[in-house]
Structure 1
Amino acid sequence: MDGTSPEWRSYVNYRSPFDPCSARVKWYDVPPEVMHPVQKSARKQFAPQEALRKGTLWPEYDSPYPPV
């Protein structure tokens, strides 16, 4: 998670001046449908079996999770 993908965003949690711990950067995944709010009429689609594996019918909404 280097921040180069638009699907990953970061924030720094609030840190009080009296907090002994340093602030940490936290990352979260923005779903692709937030990036593409308007549905186009003629979009490419996955084949039915592949769509079931991926969890979406449209490739532009496919967001693979990072390896753990």
Structure 2
Amino acid sequence: MAAHKIAHATLKGPSVVKEICIGIALGLAAGGLWKMHHWNEQRKVRAFYDLLEKGEISVVAEE
């Protein structure tokens, strides 16, 4: 009886390069989302101060 050679996948440890690439990709994605949030908040603050300067709104409560 001849022994058959079948290629089996052997379990290896984590790939360092793959882990680094995944970490960089996740970091860039999270950083991009955070930056978009920051730009949105900055736009809101700028719009508020523009309206305040034009006199369309006031921070003092009307009596």
Q: Same fold (TM over 0.5)?
A: no
* Category of TM-score, reference length = shorter chain: under 0.3
- Going by fraction, where is helix more abundant, 1 or 2? 2
TM-score (norm 2): 0.23
Q: Which has the larger radius of gyration?
A: 2
RCO higher in structure (CA 8 A, sep ≥6): 1
- Going by fraction, where is strand more abundant, 1 or 2? 1
TM-score (norm 1): 0.22
